Amino acid sequence: MEFISDLAYPTFVLAILGILGYKAYSSTPQGQNSHNNPAPQQEDITVRIYSQNRIFDLNINTGVTGSELSQRIFTPTELANHQPVLIFMGRRLELSSPLYLQGVRNGSAIHTQLSERQNENSERSGEGSHFLITLFICGASLLILWYFFYQYPQYYSNLSKLMLLGFTLGWSGVALSYFKPRNQP
């Protein structure tokens, strides 16, 4: 019991400091609730566009989506052959979301580029390879755990035996569903 009381004071102090730090660095001013703030009004702003071969300022409305902005920046021929990529503050802008929800304000800089358009089959095969690697690593880990289960059964409780069996059955179901033939149209 003395051990718990020794830990109670530092835990209490850390909890208080965490609460104070949260309030000090909170993005909403004190006294205002983020649920009470109305959505920002859509207004006309100027953003600086950095393209591969030119830099220019563009007047837009904050309610414009990324795809609408890319239509104003690139020609229809470029958009037909390439996928537009808009980068703001080091992260890729979502093309379907309004710019004000992504933090774009007056005077913001947006970097643009065109990437090769990928068809659905190549995109799916790329996702599948990552999934296949993860599936292989999990299977190898389960194989090692089963080896230790048979070599050192004294270290496994009933709960750990059930969990190992459950994870193995779950992994088997995922693996079998991945390799199941898909109906292709």
Of 116, 134, 154, the domain-final residue: 116
Does 101 lie in the same domain as 59? yes
* Alpha helix (H) residue ranges in 54-108: 66-73, 76-81
User: How high is the pLDDT of residue 142?
Assistant: 93
C-beta atoms surrounding 110 within 10 Å: 21
Give mean pLDDT in consecutive 10-residue pieces for the chain, a chain of 185 residues.
Answer: 45 46 42 46 85 86 86 86 88 88 89 77 59 88 94 92 93 84 63
- Residue 98 DSSP label: B
| Tokens representing residue 30 in the block | 């004190």
CA distance 51 to 53: 6
Query: Residue 124: CA atoms inside 13 Å, Cβ hemisphere, count?
Result: 5
At 103, which CATH number?
3.10.20.90
Domain that holds residue 87: 44-116
pLDDT at position 151: 95
Q: Which of 64, 90, 116 lies at the terminal end of a domain, its last residue?
A: 116
pTM over 0.75: no
Residue at 76 is within a domain? yes
Residues 78 and 110 in one domain: yes
| Residues 99 and 143 both lie in one domain | no
Would you give the DSSP letter of residue 30?
T
For the chain, how many structural domains are there in total? Answer: 2
